[in-house]
Amino acid sequence: MIARSAVVAAGLACAACSGGSAHDAAVPPPLDGSIDSAPVVAVGALGQVDRAGRPLVSLLLVPPSLKDDYNAQGSFEAPLPTVLRDALESRLESMDTLVLGDGGPDPVDWPVDAGVQPLLSVFANDSLLLDPSRPSTGDAGFLASYLDLERELNLGGDAGHTTCGGRTPNDDVADTMLTLLVTGTRGVPVTQGVTGPTKPASTAFPYLAPPN
């Protein structure tokens, strides 16, 4: 556990992010968690640094020791290397039986079928699936659209998608992810208890809210 010393380090870590001036992190990040015990690499090493598609995939499904390997993989390179595939599958199985509240492990919602965890077909390709012919907004602003297409195309959902899918701002993707991974389609919501961003996005370009 660390506190202030690591906060200072985090601020300094972005000293190279401005035109040579010191980074003035607006908000010190909380640093109470455990760290990946991986070696420090050279700042600015060349090549692919990071990749992302669906939210929280790396955080929830990729073990610390494999994050660099995962991030160096092309988003559409297939098939996924065996070590990454096995790691994803192992994490998916663990999340499926997460202990909720004071009870025991949550029941298995995604039984391995023919040697494959069913959600692997969703998360092995880490991209947002978007239908540009469907809307992202309704009368109340942005629609919750995350995983709308995957439910229909990967998981055999009965309802066709009505939104554009992909990911809209303001969508509570963390709770959507947790619920899918842990309780599947049983209709038992799983929540992290955080209900919205600091400032909601608007439906006018550039959509994301002005800085704090």
- Which residues in 18-37 contact another protein (CB under 8 A)? 18-37
Stretch that binds another protein, among 8-16, 81-89, 108-116 (CB under 8 A): 8-16
Alpha-carbon distance of 94 to 97, in angstroms, equals: 6
What residues between 159 and 178 interact with another protein by CB under 8 A? Answer: 164-170, 172, 174
Buried b (16+ CB within 10 A) or exposed e, 184-198: beeeeebeeeeeeee
Using CB under 8 A, pick the residue from 87, 117, 145, 176 that binds another protein.
145
Tell me which of 119, 149, 180, 184 binds another protein, using CB under 8 A.
Answer: 149
Q: Which is nearer to another protein, 27 or 82 (CB)?
A: 27
Q: Rounded to an integer, what is the distance from CA 193 to the centroid of its chain? A: 16
Residues 187, 185: Cα–Cα separation, whole Å: 5
111 versus 196: smaller Cβ distance to another protein: 196
The residue whose two tokens read 């980074």 is 23
Token pair recorded at residue 206: 């550039």
Question: Which of 51, 85 has the CB closer to another protein?
Answer: 51
Please, which of residues 76-115 interact with another protein by CB under 8 A?
76, 78, 91, 94-95, 97-101, 105
Among 6, 112, 144, 162, binds another protein (CB under 8 A): 6
195 part of the interface to another protein, by CB under 8 A:
yes
The radius of gyration computed from the CA coordinates of the chain, to the nearest angstrom, equals 19
Write down how long the chain is. Answer: 212
| Interface residue with another protein, options 85, 109, 144, 209 (CB under 8 A) | 209
Site residues for another protein, 118-137, by CB under 8 A, read: 121, 125-137
* Residue in the block written with tokens 């020791």: 65
144 in contact with another protein (CB under 8 A): no
Within 10 angstroms of residue 55's Cβ, the number of other Cβ atoms is 16
Q: Is 61 helix (H, G, I), strand (E, B) or coil?
A: helix
**Site for another protein (CB under 8 A): how many residues?**
123
